[in-house]
Amino acid sequence: MLLATSDIVAGKDITETLGLVKGNSVQSRNIGRDMIAGLRNIVGGEMKEYAEMLVRSREIATEAMVEEAKQLGADAVVGVRYATSSVMDGTSEVLVYGTAVKFK
């Protein structure tokens, strides 16, 4: 499945717009990850534990969006955007959305 942040794909003609597709993932922190991140916060440096958690959260959300697009019979999803938000203290949501389309 082709995913594009642009609204068009070079060399492809969109013949049908199938509609909005989306996926999301909500992840919570855990005590082990928080302790390691707390130590990094004192000495400085990248908080790899949280970065890895967000990478996985984006992957889960993207997989859900692609599955929704496949169910519509899409060839691609264009206009893909990601958004994040805090649902409550210690949890974050990653939302991905775009437009499912068919090509000629």
Domains and CATH numbers, the chain: 2-103 (3.30.110.70)
Is the CB of residue 33 less than 8 Å from the CB of residue 64?
A: no
- Rounded to an integer, what distance in angstroms lies between the CA atom of residue 16 and that of residue 14? 6
pTM score, whole prediction = 0.82
Q: For the chain, how many residues are written? A: 104
Residue pLDDT, tens place only, 10-53? 999 999 999 999 999 998 766 555 555 555 555 566 667 777 88
